[in-house]
Structure 1
């Protein structure tokens, strides 16, 4: 029977279960109860067995996992309104963002265009000035070139100021958002840590110990070791039902005999008993 699918374990938490298992196998040399790893079963074989028994191992921490999923769901629900607002905000202010985008493009392109124009005007103006010092058109090109050069410098300064303002604005809005939701993630983190601890101590480690202690454990099989076919329920024991004592032994049963029935004595009067 394949046990690598845990009905109560969500797909998003499967990777966390594997991380706990890998961490336990990596630190197995630090635990005396797992010192048998590598003699008969290596880490990869134990990992395969544990993955095949995911449902069995995770059921040992089912209560902690249910609490973790509940707290996490409540946290996601509480933040849904703020997330929805942040998603709908751009749609409501689409025109404003379009204007802001156009201004950003203009801020980037203006220094480039002005710088290109300044380079062309200055280059042509100085060439004409060298060929004909008295040419009035050369002075006009040089004046235009220096004008566009000034525009380039102003555009670069405006772009730097815009980047600085954007960085400060994003930093100012990020800190309150983290502080506002700081209490709920702490509760989720505590619930997750409790589940991780219970899963390790009551699920993963007992399974590994049983696999190492069971000489018949087959790493290629999907069945768990015989010693962990069922985890014990700590603190509870089934009631002791026993049959009432009637003085008879367990192997003997009371015997019954049928009553002695005889037919009535019918006959003519002369044959009746006196």
Structure 2
């Protein structure tokens, strides 16, 4: 007899399973079939039992979960491919190249203009100290002030660019976070179908069986009956036995020790002559 193994619940879906379970226990008083919560087993004990039986419960919604995982992976596939295509080996788009050149110019322009202004102004004013001053001293001073103005304009342009970038990133960051939480319609439907099947066919029947089974309970209550901690959900586990064992084992034969006597010492009929 073969039994379908329970699906492995991915780590990213474990919190969702726990949220559905907690929500069911939180609203247990609204369901007549769970009205016994708190009488023999409280919500904490039921939660512990349900977490121990995660594989058994999630198996009831295996089909829906498999469909949800496949739909989610198909959604993530194109996005991951686009990330790889835009990696270092892809060369980048023209917009990205233009943005990189603009950033380099924005950083280097104030530095180069400031260096040129310092050199021309220093040289021009030193030449003015000579007597008589050279005719090109005034030209160097004028060139120095020109590069100083270029440096100031470059710094102002860089500051405006940084401000615009900060405003753009601030205005687009929140919608990007919201779009991560909004799933496409097909993935959202698959996720909702899994949630519904998990609740209706797995969690709720498990809680009902746990409340109805007098032997079910956490290990702290019945440590010597650990096999009864998890109630059955509509089916029982198969029994496995060795193929060599027959339908019923018969009684084992018994052996008695034989009596040993010496041939020379028999009964009265064997007296010596």
Name the TM-score, length of structure 2 as normaliser.
0.55
Contact persistence 1:217–1:225 (CA under 8 A): yes
Aligned to 2:90: 92
- Bigger Cα displacement from structure 2, 57-66 vs 99-108: 99-108
What is the distance in 2 between the residues matched to 1:213 and 1:200?
18
Higher RCO (CA-CA < 8 Å; seq separation 6+):
1
Return closer, same or farther for 1:145/1:206 CA change in 2, 3 Å cut-off.
farther
Cα offsets for 1:85-129 (capped at 9, x unmatched): 44223422269767744641542465588789999xx9x9xxxxx
Structure 2 residue aligned with 1:28: 28
Q: Could you state the TM-score of these two structures normalised by the residue count of structure 1?
A: 0.54
CA, structure 1 residues 84+75, in 2 after alignment: closer, same or farther (shift >3 Å)? closer
Give the unaligned 5+ runs of structure 1. Answer: 125-136, 233-274
CA RMSD of aligned residues (A): 4.7
Q: Is 1:37 aligned to 2:55, yes or no? A: no
8 A contact 1:60–1:231 mirrored in 2? no
Deviation of 1:213 (Å): 2.7
1:18-70 deviation digits (Å, cap 9, x = unpaired): 22112222333433433333333232221110011112211222222222233
User: Which residue in 2 is equivalent to 1:238?
Assistant: none
Structure 2 CA distance for partners of 1:18 and 1:154, relative to 1, 3 Å: same
Q: Work out the CA distance in 2 between the residues paired with 1:42 and 1:146.
A: 82
Correspondence for 2:61: 61
Distance (Å, rounded) in 1 between the aligned partners of 2:229 and 2:59: 16
What is the aligned residue count? 207
Change (3 A) 1:204 1:84: same
Task: Using the TM superposition, give the Cα deviation of residue 225 of structure 1 relative to its aligned residue in structure 2, in angstroms.
Answer: 5.5
Provide the rounded CA distance (Å) in 2 between the counterparts of 1:209 and 1:218: 13
For 2:30 and 2:113, the matched residues in 1 are separated by 68
1:53/1:224 contact within 8 Å kept: no
Distance 1:190 1:37, change over 3 A: same
- Measured after TM superposition, the shift of residue 141 of structure 1 is 8.0
Question: What CA distance in whole angstroms lies between the structure 1 residues aligned with 2:218 and 2:146?
Answer: 80
Contact 2:41 2:217 in 1 (8 A): no
How much does 1:149 deviate?
5.4
Residue 244 of structure 1 aligns with which residue? none
1:155 corresponding residue in structure 2: 155
